[in-house]
Amino acid sequence: MAHFAKVLDGIVQKVIVAEQDYIDNLVDDSPGKWIQTSYNTYGGVHSNGGTPLRKNYAGTGFSYDETRDAFIPPQPFPSWTLNDKTCLWDCPVDYPTDGKSYGWNEETKSWDEK
C-alpha cells in the first residue's frame, strides 16, 4: 500500500492509504490533485534506507512545493527558516541538550524551560 495526499492550491487537504491502481482509476470530481507521499520519508531521508520521496511525509495542512517537489510542514514560528535541503523548519537557536523540557518563546527568540 502507498500513501497519497490530495493537494488543492498547494495545501494538503487529506492523506489516504491506497494502491496505485485505486488512484489511477479513481473518479474524483473534486478540485485538487493526488500526489504520492512516503510514510518513511522525513527531512529528505528514507528511514529504511530506501529512496526518499518528496522530502517529507505529507500531513493535512502541509504545503506542496512543485518546484522542490516537496511536502513542507507548516511554519511553527515566524522566526524559523526553511531548510532547503530537508524542507523542514530550522529554529534560530539550537534546542538545549541538558535533558530538560523546553518550549519555544517567539518573543525572546529563545527556549524557555517548562
CA distances from 37 to 20, 54, 58, 91, 110 (A): 12, 7, 6, 25, 33
CA distance linking residue 93 with residue 95, whole number of Å? 6
* pTM for the predicted model, two decimal places: 0.92
pLDDT for res 1: 87
CA atoms within 13 A on the CB side of 56: 23
pLDDT for res 48: 95
| Confidence category of residue 36, pLDDT binned at 50, 70, 90 | very high
Name the nearest CA neighbour of 56 among 1, 5, 6: 5
| Percentage of residues in the chain having pLDDT higher than 70 | 100
Rg (CA), the chain: 17
pLDDT for res 104: 98
Q: Dihedrals φ, ψ of 28, to 5°?
A: -130, 105
- Domain layout of the chain by residue ranges: 1-74, 77-114
Q: Dump pLDDT digits (tens) for 51-96.
A: 999 999 999 999 999 999 999 999 999 999 999 999 999 999 999 9
Q: Dihedrals φ, ψ of 11, to 5°?
A: -120, 135
CA distance linking residue 44 with residue 52, whole number of Å? 6
